[in-house]
Amino acid sequence: MFGLGNIKSPLTGGDMEDPITTQDMVIAPSVRETASEDGAVLLDIEQGICFSLNPVGLRIWELLKKRHSVDQIADALAQDFPISRSQLLSDVVEFLQSLEAKRLIHRADHTVARQSWLTRVFPWAKERAQLH
């Protein structure tokens, strides 16, 4: 519903067994954004991947940056969309799980294993760098 998509493929949801809350979420430091009235483009400079957000996705992203709770985000969206609160909550959580699955956000208490796009493309580069 909120339009986060990898330029090449859509995102999928995350694991419902570990509920997501915005209080423990941190935007990855390698993420850069450019926003317009049409939404936003997120660039993860470490992964070398661009993602697009529609205007609703951008609104959630901005509220996330301001550390709003899932409930507060759903309340803000409820003012603009005639959707049930339970559906809004479900959609917001699914969107946040998609952001987490793509490593655009992560839980503050979790260490994120990072591998640059260059090392994924040229795996031998990491080995060569360690030799020098």
Give the whole-number percent of the chain exceeding pLDDT 70.
Answer: 65
Give me the percent of the chain exceeding a pLDDT of 90. 59
3-state secondary structure the chain: CCCCEECCCECCCCCCCCCCCHHHEEECCCEEEEEECCEEEEEECCCCEEEEECHHHHHHHHHHHCCCCHHHHHHHHHCCCCCCHHHHHHHHHHHHHHHHHCCCEEECCCCCCCCCHHHHHCHHHHHHHHHC
Average pLDDT value for residue range 3-23: 42
Q: What's the whole-number mean pLDDT along residues 56-62? A: 96
Q: What is the number of residues in the chain?
A: 132
pTM above 0.85, yes or no: no
pLDDT tens for each residue of 94-126 = 999 999 999 999 887 755 455 555 555 555 555
pLDDT tier, 55 (very low <50, low <70, confident <90, very high otherwise): very high
CA gap 42, 32 in Å, rounded: 6
